[in-house]
Each structure stands twice: as structure tokens, then as C-alpha cells.
Amino acid sequence: MSESSAVAHAEHHREGFVRHYLFSLDHKMIGRQFLFSGLAMMVIGGLLAMMVRWQLGYPEQPMPFTGLFSEEFWEGGSWFAQGAPYGVITSEFYNSLFTMHATIMIFFVVMPIMVGAFGNFLIPIGIGAGDMAFPTLNMLSFWTSVPAMILMVLSFFVPGGAAGGGWTSYAPLAAVPDYAGVAGPWGVNLWLISLFILGFSSLMGSINYITTIINMRAPGMTWFRLPLFIWSLFIVAILLLLALPVLTSGLAMMFFDRVFGTHFFLPEGGGEPLLWQHIFWFFGHPEVYILVLPAMGVTSEILPVFSRKPIFGYHAMVFSMIAIAFLSWVVWGHHMFQSGMNPQLGTAFTLTTMMIAIPSAIKTFNWLGTLWGGSIRFTTPMLFAVGFVFLFTIGGLSGIFMGSMAVDIFIHDTYYIVAHIHYVVAGIIFGIFAAIYYWFPKMFGRMMSEGLGKLHFFLTFVFFNMTFFPMHFLGVGGHMRRIYNPNQYEFLEGFAGMNEFITVSALLLGASQIFFGINFIWSLFWGRRAERNPWQANTLEWDAPSPPPHGNFEVTPTVYRGPYEYSVPEVQEDYLPQSRYLEVAAGGGH
């Protein structure tokens, strides 16, 4: 299949603009489409976060730029003039802001970039195939995500504004339009429809990924010669296949409750509000690993390349990811310790939650073991990968606090949780940046600027920690999440200064991303031309030209060894590509 499709692709190489740039069947173009749409949504999601932070740091004061708008604008009744009259965010708009920030960042930034962009781009090249198993399905997967994206953004403009029930949209608040207290039901309705559509996009993608990885590996590419990033995507595709339909069903049930008068989640008709939470988190916890496993995979890919050393414990890395995937199905209740479910369940879910921390600990220590004895090059992708390890360590350790159901009684629904999720999920953005800086030469055939990249890293790293670390202190002080104005509480009076500090840091964190934008766009057009293998890495994508042509490889590669054979004593160079044939097979390999 892989060879014949490569040949078939090579034959109809010439195609029109629409076929090439819009409805492309080429996995690489689809990957780039996911990358661009994801980055565009990241700008929106980031701006929403800036507004959330503004309200918390400077409650009910006009936002800085809003003084520029005319009187007519504020009288005009546009969505923004209603949500933030004269620049002052209303509590309804505030609820929409944090709801949409989380929804966009999780569903329209991290998933499309990590799984959509890099999954698409790298799975076929990384396993030595010419394209995905189902190129048309692949194209449909992207184009199904576009209406979902448009509907989600459009929901800001409907009467009553975008959904404001939190990204978790707990019933009955989100299941009954009247409880939201806004002018119309369409914010949440569109939220449900958008994610419902997106569910089909990810379903198509996951089936494609699984089929491709099982069936289309190049000769010699055994399971234990697969790069760890491909392993992570394989496991994520299985989680997506099984978890997303659960959410999709729940979304449909909630839509029925809202529009057709059913009572799945409404007690007055015999329904059960906790049912929504069980459905949501049964999807939601595997979802967390859907987000983080690819970032772990990227890190496992980049650390060996720039340490010039094999990954420490390849098999342990694979088995710990598999363990995480299995355990991720039995930990969802730790989001619900205080929800009113039977407290005995809390005991069971604490035990499973503690267990899932073990494979995460193994991975962290194995990354450290990879660095030990290396010959470390501090390139931009390496800095971001090491940054991810550091942030994931904090995010993983802070998770142990709420993993203990007793400590969770106090810190549940406080800023401690907000700190934790951002160290993990916003930490994944470090994985995304590492991946972009690392694979940009392969994707676009040009190098990104190292100087701007390092500047971007240092500013992002410093302001990230200045933004999210103090949130632990807020949480320890009992500061609730999702509150509009902390000044309404006497016990939070002492935190006004810290909230302001966090807001200033967050604005600077946002501003630092300008350096990434400049670097990305500039390098796209004027970056130095990339050679085939600029990082002297071993995996198959570096065998293909930069950027790879239709069909990827001139000749289907044959794989002779594992992906991390760096500094093998028997060879002259400090790397040994998977596809290079040696008379005497060097090293242990896999």
C-alpha cells in the first residue's frame, strides 16, 4: 500500500490551487492547515485570557485600549459594547471569557496542533509511508473541524453572548437556558453543536492514524523501533476513538435537554445532574492525556537528538504511556470528590489517581537519565523541551495534592486547580513550541531564527512562571476559581496585590509571543534554506527532502534499528539514522 500510494501520488503531482492548498489530500498540507488554524485560534484564546486576567487584576476598571473607542461605539449595542460597556467587563461576559478561553485552548489549539498538525505531518513520514491510509478521510477530518471552529467563534455574536457555563458546562446550569441569566440560549447551543461536529473530525482522524500506524510501517519498522512521538500519537488515537464519542453523546443529551425538553440531567423530570459530570469526566480525564501524551512524545524525541544520546529506557517509556492510557479510564472520579457522589467512591478514585502518577514519575526520571552523560546542545527546540520537563514536574507534583481526596476538600475549585491545570496544559504549549521549532525546517524547508527563538523561550519561561506559580498561593489562601471580582470577599483582601502581579505577568507573557509570531512569519518566507537533516537526527522524516515532496520518499526506506542510536561507538558520526545499512549491526538497538 505504502509503495503503490507513493507511486500514485508521484503520478498526479501537478494540481490546481484549490486542490493543493485547500482541499489537499496530502497529509503534509493537511498538517500545515491544522497548524495554521490552531495558531490562529491560539491568538484568540490568548486574548480572551488577557481579558480574564485584566478583570481579576483590575476588577471592574475599563480595559486599557478601550478608551480609544468612540461614544457611538459604546452606544451601538455590538457584542463587545454589551459584554464590556465602556471597557468594563460584565460578569456575564466574564463567564463567557473564561469558558471560551478554556474551550478554545483545549479543543481548537492543543488538540489540532499536537494531534492534527504534527500527527498528520509526522505519522506517515515517521513510519516511512507515502501518505495516510485514507487521504480523503484525512481531508474531511480537517474540513469538518472548520465549521466547528467558525460556529464556536460566531457564538460571541449571538444575543446573550458565548457560552458561560465553564468549559465543563455542568448541568443544570448549562442544561437549562434560563439559569444562565443571559438574553438568549444560542451561546451554549452553538457551543454544544460546535463540539459535536468536532467530535466527528477527531473520530475520522483517529481511525486514520490507527490504521496508518498498524498497516503502513516501512519494512523493518517494528513496533519497538517506532519513534516515541509516533507511539504517543498511536495511543492518543485510540483514546480519541474511545473517549470523544462519550462526550459527543453527552453533548447531544444536553442539547436535547435544552431544546427538546428531555430531562437527562434535570432532577425535576427524574434526571440526574451528576450523570453529566460522570459522562463529561469519563471523556475528560482521558482527554487530559490526549493533550499531554503527544507533548511527552515530542520531548522524548527532542531530548535524545540534542543530548546526542539514546533515550533512557525506551521500553519503559512505551509501557508507561500504555499504562497511563489504561489508567486514564478509571480516574475520572477525582474531578468529582466534592460533587456529592458517594464518598466511598472517593476512596477508590484516590487509589487509581495515585497509581497513574507512577508512570508519569517514571517518564520524568527517564528524561533526566537521558540528559545524564549527554553532549547537550542548547538549541531552541531543546530549551522548550527541557522547559516542558520542568513545568510538567511542577504540574505533576501539584496534582498529588488534589489527588488526595482529603486535601482536595479544601483546594477543589480554587486557584490551586487553576495553577495545576496551567502547569500541565499550558505547559503542553512548551511542547508545541518545541515541536514547531524542531520540525519547522521539515515542514516549510526553512530554518527559524535561533536568536529570536531563544529570546522567545526565555521571556515565555520567566513570565509563564511569574503568571502561574503565584496562583498556587492564591489557591492555598482559598481563592475560588471562576469568580468575577475577588474584592467581593473579605478573606481575599490580602490577595489584591498578588492578583495584580499575576495580571501584569500574564500580559507580558502574552506580549512575548509577538517574538514567536515575527520569527514564524519571517522564517516562512525569508528563513535560511533548510538542508535535509539540519539537526543530524535519526528518524525517517529526516531522510526525506525538506520539505518532502508528494509521496515523501524517493525510495521507500528500510529500517535497520531503533530511532535513538546516537553516539554509537562503532560509527564515526554521533548519529546513526534508522535507515542506514551497516555491515555489522551496531549497538543493541531495539
Partner 1 sequence: MFDMLRWLPERASTYAGEIDTLFYIIYYITGFVFLLVTVLLIWFLIQFRYKPGRPAVYSHGNTALELVWTATPAAVFIILFLISQSTWAKVKQFAPISDTEVRLIAKQFAWEFHYPGPDGKFDTEDDFQQDGELHVPVNKPVRLYMQGTDVIHSFFVPVLRLKQDVLPGREILAWFEATKTGRFEIPCAELCGPGHSGMKGWLTVHSAEDYAAWLQEQQS
Other CB atoms within 10 A of residue 16 CB: 9
Sketch the per residue contact string, 401 through 440, with partner 1: x for CB under 8 A, - otherwise. x-xxxxx-xx-xxx--------------------------
Minimal distance, residue 512 CB to partner 1, in Å: 22
Min dist CB 213 to partner 1, Å, is 23
378 binds partner 1 (CB under 8 A): yes
Q: What residues from 91 to 130 belong to the interface with partner 1 (CB under 8 A)?
A: 91-92, 95
Asked if residue 366 binds partner 1 (CB under 8 A), the reply is yes
H helices present in 58-180, as ranges? 71-75, 79-83, 91-103, 120-127, 135-154
Among 50, 207, 242, 355, binds partner 1 (CB under 8 A): 355
Per CB under 8 A, contacts with partner 1 among 248-287 are: 267-268, 271-274
3 state DSSP class of 251: helix
Q: Give the one residue of 314, 332, 464, 515 binding partner 1; rule: CB under 8 A.
A: 314
Cβ neighbours around 450 below 10 Å, total: 14
Residues 292-311 contacting partner 1, CB under 8 A: 307-311
The nearest distance, CB 353 to partner 1, in angstroms, is 9
Shortest distance (Å) from residue 98 CB to partner 1: 9
480 pairs with which residues across the strands?
414
Q: Which stretch binds partner 1 (CB under 8 A): 214-222, 239-247, 374-382, 426-434?
A: 374-382
Q: Is residue 536 close enough to count as binding partner 1 by CB under 8 A?
A: no
Closest to partner 1 by CB, 47 vs 351, is 351
Number of chain positions touching partner 1 (CB under 8 A): 99
Q: How far is the CB of 160 from partner 1 (least distance, A)?
A: 11
Residue closer to partner 1 by CB (options 137, 371) is 371
Pairwise CA distance, residues 169 & 587, whole Å: 53
Give yes or no for residue 572 binding partner 1 (CB under 8 A): no
Is 400 a binding residue for partner 1 by CB under 8 A? The answer is yes
Which of 36, 223, 326, 491 contacts partner 1 by CB under 8 A? 491
Total Cβ atoms within 10 A of residue 343: 10
What Rg, from alpha-carbon coordinates, does the chain have?
Answer: 24
Confirm or reject binding of residue 556 to partner 1 (CB under 8 A): no
Strand partners, 529: 446
CB of 562 to partner 1, least distance (A): 9
- Rounded Cα distance between 228 and 538, Å, is 13
Q: Could you tell me if 347 and 405 are in contact, meaning their C-beta atoms sit under 8 angstroms apart?
A: yes
User: In 10 A of CB 366, how many CB atoms?
Assistant: 18
Instruction: Give yes or no for a contact between 508 and 192, defined as CB atoms under 8 angstroms apart.
Output: no
Looking only at residues 183 through 242 of this chain, which bind partner 1 when binding is defined by CB under 8 A? none
Q: Which is nearer to partner 1, 194 or 398 (CB)?
A: 398
Of 357 and 508, the one with the shorter C-beta distance to partner 1 is 357
What is the grid cell recorded at 383? 530549551
Out of 312, 457, 461, 520, name the contact with partner 1 by CB under 8 A. Answer: 312
The interface region with partner 1, picked from 25-33, 290-298, 382-390, 509-517 by CB under 8 A, is 382-390
Alpha carbons 457 and 473: distance in angstroms, whole number: 25
Q: What is the distance between the alpha carbons of residues 140 and 144, in angstroms, rounded to a whole number?
A: 6
Contact stretch for partner 1 (CB under 8 A) within 198-206, 236-244, 469-477, 513-521: 469-477
CB of residue 470 vs partner 1: minimum separation in angstroms? Answer: 9
Comparing CA positions, the residue from 534, 537, 543 lying closest to residue 128 is 543
Rama region for 528: left / alpha / beta (φ>0; ψ in -120 to 50; rest): beta
Residue 410, Cβ neighbours under 10 Å: how many? 15
Rounded-to-integer distance, Cα 165 and Cα 162, Å:
9
Among 64, 343, 451, 517, binds partner 1 (CB under 8 A): 343
CA distance 184 to 173: 14
Q: Is 394 helix (H, G, I), strand (E, B) or coil?
A: helix
Find the helix or strand (DSSP H, E) in which 519 lies. helix 496-526
Angstrom distance (rounded) from CA 78 to CA 425: 33
| Footprint (CB under 8 A) of partner 1, residues 470-489 | 472-474, 476-478, 480, 482-485, 488-489
As measured in angstroms, the least distance from the Cβ of 425 to partner 1 is: 19
